[in-house]
């Protein structure tokens, strides 16, 4: 496609154009898509309300740009290659034509179940091709999908269903994950006891696990599609109609529903996919993320499929049946671009290079990293042992809210630097500001990462609560979108992400709000108060450390700790389980009653040499006591 950047000077030129004349820049890129009606204004925005609209009054359907657009040119090309959990089970290849028919068929099934344009549909399903089919079917009929990671608990699922008042859940009987089979439908049943908006549940048979089917509510996927036609006329969507909601954690206790809309998301995810990964026809691209996260949305489903790429979808885990699984799959499907998270790299690094040895990995051209800062050691291991020293690493920085990659090298085109996300994508105007909101100009500066101009795939609102969106992203530094990340712009102008500056921790590339975990811990009847912080963890990047005040009467610490973990497991899911729990007599507080997290973070990271001034605390003595029993 004409918007591909081929050289460093090409990147510089495009970047300049995108800043000097963003409207023409994005109009030219948007032009290559199929619009049922062209937009009459490229962008309309202010960051005060905020109000951001792209390609105003344009009419389109994103699935026509994925399916119909590619049918004539490469209908027989694989769109999705699905690799199952068990290496002995056959993989499944869906060509663009097959995907088209499956999406149309399921679209018709959803309509027959009473789903209409604008309805919210929860997708709570493991990594099976039907996850992508369900997302695309929603997009085709104008329903708003909200994919919930299948590792979340019934109560977390119920919260999300209630927040968006969803009408349908699409799920599976169970989930194969490594050596385990996990019930999925049973979790949905439990969640639905606490919701009232759901009218139907469509369940895919995957594991053969026994499930309860509720009369009048539940239908099997295979029964729902039975007899449904293979053609479906795509709904006409406005550029700014909702495409999906994706819940993400922030610094408050309640996850927020990040809203993405049709036109801008389509243009940006596809543009960024092609340029960052330098995808060429014939390449096989593999992103190991789960569709429950934004990376799965933008870079397994939408970005690659909009670009007519072949996208691998993997059901399993990196260490099953052994730590060579990723590499076995790379060789098996001749993967060209491989995109994963630093936590996976570090976990595999711990097994040494032996599990890599049996594989050639000679089809690899590009390696990608996402989700958290990649440390230099992991970067080099990835580069040397997986990429054999010949594959550029694209360290891609972005967020659920940004919809697509905003800072990254372009593979083989712009320079890389270990642990640096390097340069902004065209159209992305970064600023570094100090805590007072002053823009730090020039190089060799460190501060808060903000963005001063909209890009097409940025969030539009947080579902049902626009004020929260304003408050969270647009109020700390007026006039800018605030990312929540700290950043360094080094002497060469390269960007290095330093991690969150708010109360969000990043555990294995998953965002967790400390307040959210605290709320869950506090549900335990013996817990009086808790404070959660992140601490450096060799594999997960950050681990969860909980300081908890408990009513210990008649209880042992061990049994309470285990119960607290189970409580968190139940309220949020296993990903939020604290790695360490320390039962403490009190929490360090300021005279106004605010918990001094700075001190707790120091204790949690084992760095107690310099605690700073603690004399102003309400209860300075408690610090010594916490230090002496730290984990
Ligand atoms: C894509 C995704 C977003 C947060 C973000 C950062 C951190 C993501 C990188 C990174 C350093 C990276 N969306 N983050 N990518 N930090 N280098 N390449 O992860 O909404 O789940 O998380 O993740 O802190 O704000 S997310």
- pTM, two decimal places: 0.95
- CA dist., res. 362 & res. 391, Å (int): 10
Q: Which domains does the chain have, with CATH numbers?
A: 8-317+396-486 (3.40.50.12780), 508-628 (3.30.300.30)
Q: What is the pLDDT of residue 496?
A: 97
| Beta carbons of 502 and 484 less than 8 angstroms apart | yes
Ligand 1 centroid to residue 459 C-alpha, Å: 15
Q: What is the pLDDT of residue 618?
A: 85
Copy the structure tokens of residue 580. 């360490």
DSSP states of 349-410: HTT-STTTTT---TT--EEEEESSPPPHHHHHHIIIIISTT-S-EEEEB--TTT-S--B-PP
Mean pLDDT, the chain, rounded, equals 96
Q: For 23-63, what is each residue's pLDDT tens digit?
A: 999 999 999 999 999 999 999 999 999 999 999 999 999 99
Q: For 558-582, what is each residue's pLDDT tens digit?
A: 999 999 999 999 999 999 999 999 9
Ligand 1 centroid to residue 259 C-alpha, Å: 18
Copy the structure tokens of residue 49. 């309300």
Q: 122 versus 597: which is more confidently predicted?
A: 122
CA dihedral 188, 193, 199, 201 (to 10 degrees): 20
Averaged pLDDT for residues 84-93: 98
Residue matched to tokens 């994005």: 26
Question: For every residue of 517-566, which 3-state class applies, written as one string?
Answer: HHHHHHCCCCEEEEEEEEEEECCCEEEEEEEEEECCCCCCHHHHHHHHHH
Q: For 232-284, what is each residue's pLDDT tens digit?
A: 999 999 999 999 999 998 877 789 999 999 999 999 999 999 999 999 999 99
Map residue 299 onto helix, strand or coil: helix
Q: What is the DSSP letter of 248?
A: E
Using most ligand atoms within 8 A of CB, pick from 473, 511, 534, 541 the residue to mutate for ligand 1: 511
Q: 555 versus 258: which is more confidently predicted?
A: 258
Question: In Å, what is the CA distance from 237 to each residue of 143, 233, 245, 343, 427?
Answer: 10, 12, 16, 38, 25
- CA dist., res. 173 & res. 209, Å (int): 6
Q: What is the pLDDT of residue 592?
A: 78
Averaged pLDDT for residues 339-343: 97
Q: For 597-627, what is each residue's pLDDT tens digit?
A: 889 999 999 988 888 888 888 888 899 999 9
Ligand 1 centroid to residue 434 C-alpha, Å: 20
Averaged pLDDT for residues 209-218: 98
| Beta carbons of 368 and 287 less than 8 angstroms apart | yes
Q: What is the pLDDT of residue 1?
A: 56
DSSP states of 137-177: HHHHHT-EEEE--TTS-HHHHHHHHHHHT-SEEEEESEEEE
Q: For 126-143, what is each residue's pLDDT tens digit?
A: 999 999 999 999 999 999
Q: What is the pLDDT of residue 552?
A: 87
Using most ligand atoms within 8 A of CB, pick from 457, 497, 576 the residue to mutate for ligand 1: 497
Ligand 1 centroid to residue 559 C-alpha, Å: 35
The proportion of the chain whose per-residue pLDDT surpasses 70, expressed as a percent, equals: 100
Alpha helices (H) in 382-529, listed in sequence order: 466-469, 514-522
Strand bridging mode 310-314 / 337-340:
unpaired
- CA dist., res. 510 & res. 297, Å (int): 15
Q: For 270-322, what is each residue's pLDDT tens digit?
A: 999 999 999 999 999 999 999 999 999 999 999 999 999 999 999 999 999 99
Burial class (CB in 10 A: 0-12, 13-18, 19+), 1: exposed
The proportion of the chain whose per-residue pLDDT surpasses 90, expressed as a percent, equals: 92
Vertex 259, ends 258 and 265: CA angle to 5°? 115
Q: What is the DSSP letter of 231?
A: -
Q: Which of 336, 262, 265 is closest to 303 using CA atoms?
A: 265
Q: What is the pLDDT of residue 282?
A: 96
**Residue 208 pLDDT greater than 90, yes or no:** yes
In sequence order, what are the residues at sequence separation of 6 or more whose Cβ sits closer than 8 angstroms to the Cβ of residue 442? none
Q: What is the pLDDT of residue 345?
A: 97
Number of H helices, E strands in the chain: 20, 29
Q: What is the pLDDT of residue 590?
A: 83
Averaged pLDDT for residues 163-182: 97
Ligand 1 centroid to residue 248 C-alpha, Å: 12
**Residue 2 pLDDT greater than 80, yes or no:** no
Ligand 1 centroid to residue 500 C-alpha, Å: 9
Ligand 1 site residues (CB inside 6 A) read: 248, 293-295, 370-373, 395-400, 421, 483-485, 497, 499-500, 506, 509, 511
Q: What is the DSSP letter of 211?
A: -
User: What is the pLDDT confidence band of residue 547, given thresholds at 50, 70 and 90?
Assistant: very high
Q: What is the pLDDT of residue 189?
A: 98
């Amino acid at each position: 496609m004409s918007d591909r950047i081929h050289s460093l000077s090409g990147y510089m030129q495009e970047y300049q154009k995108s800043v000097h004349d963003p409207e023409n820049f994005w109009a030219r890129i948007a032009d290559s898509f199929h619009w049922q009606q062209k937009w009459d204004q490229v962008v309309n925005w202010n960051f005060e309300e905020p109000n951001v609209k792209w390609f105003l009054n344009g009419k389109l359907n994103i699935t026509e740009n994925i399916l119909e657009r590619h049918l004539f040119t490469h209908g027989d090309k694989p769109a999705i290659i699905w690799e199952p959990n068990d290496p002995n089970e056959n993989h499944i290849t869906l060509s663009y034509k097959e995907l088209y028919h499956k999406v149309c068929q399921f679209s018709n099934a959803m309509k027959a179940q009473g789903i209409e344009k604008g309805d919210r549909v929860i997708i709570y399903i493991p990594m099976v091709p039907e996850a992508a089919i369900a997302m695309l079917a929603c997009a085709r009929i104008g329903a708003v999908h909200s994919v919930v990671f299948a590792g979340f608990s019934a109560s977390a699922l119920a919260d999300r269903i209630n927040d968006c008042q969803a009408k349908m859940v699409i799920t599976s009987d169970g989930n194969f994950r490594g050596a385990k089979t996990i019930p999925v439908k049973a979790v949905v049943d439990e969640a639905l006891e606490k919701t009232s908006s759901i009218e139907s549940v469509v369940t895919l048979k995957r594991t053969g696990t026994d499930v309860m089917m509720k009369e009048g509510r539940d239908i099997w996927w295979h029964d729902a599609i039975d007899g449904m036609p293979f053609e479906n006329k795509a709904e006409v969507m406005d550029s700014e109609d909702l495409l999906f909601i994706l819940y993400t954690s922030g610094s408050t206790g309640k996850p927020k529903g990040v809203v993405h809309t049709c036109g801008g998301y389509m243009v940006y995810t596809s543009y960024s996919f092609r340029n960052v990964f330098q995808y060429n026809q014939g390449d096989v691209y593999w992103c190991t993320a789960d569709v429950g996260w934004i990376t799965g949305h933008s870079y397994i489903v939408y970005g690659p499929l909009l670009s007519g790429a072949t996208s691998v979808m993997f059901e399993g885990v990196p260490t099953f049946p052994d730590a060579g699984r990723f590499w076995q799959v790379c060789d098996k499907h001749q993967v060209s671009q491989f995109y994963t998270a630093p936590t996976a790299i570090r976990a595999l690094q711990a097994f040494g290079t032996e599990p890599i040895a049996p594989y050639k990995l000679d089809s690899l051209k590009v390696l990608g990293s996402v989700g958290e800062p990649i440390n230099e050691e992991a970067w080099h291991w990835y580069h040397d042992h997986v990429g054999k020293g010949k594959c550029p690493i694209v360290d891609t920085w972005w967020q659920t809210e940004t919809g697509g990659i905003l800072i990254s090298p372009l593979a083989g085109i712009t320079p890389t630097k270990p642990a640096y996300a390097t340069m902004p994508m065209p159209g992305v105007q970064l600023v570094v500001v100090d805590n007072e909101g002053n823009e730090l100009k020039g190089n060799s500066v460190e501060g808060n990462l903000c963005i001063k101009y909209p890009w097409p795939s940025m969030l539009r609102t947080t579902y049902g609560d626009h004020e929260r969106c304003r408050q969270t992203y647009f109020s700390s530094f007026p006039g800018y979108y605030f990312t929540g990340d700290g950043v360094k712009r080094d002497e060469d102008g390269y960007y290095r992400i330093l991690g969150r500056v708010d109360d969000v921790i990043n555990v294995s590339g998953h965002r967790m709000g400390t307040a959210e975990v605290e709320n869950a811990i506090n549900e335990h009847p013996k817990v009086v108060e808790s404070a959660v912080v992140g601490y450096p963890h060799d594999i997960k990047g950050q681990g969860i450390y909980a300081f908890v005040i408990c009513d210990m009467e008649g209880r042992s610490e061990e049994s309470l700790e285990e119960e607290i973990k189970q409580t968190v497991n139940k309220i949020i899911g296993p990903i939020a389980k604290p790695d360490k729990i320390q039962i403490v007599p009190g929490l360090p507080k300021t005279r106004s009653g605010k918990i001094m997290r700075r001190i707790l973070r120091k204790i949690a990271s084992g760095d107690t040499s310099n605690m700073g001034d603690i004399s102003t605390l309400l209860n300075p003595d408690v610090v010594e006591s916490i230090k002496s029993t730290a984990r």
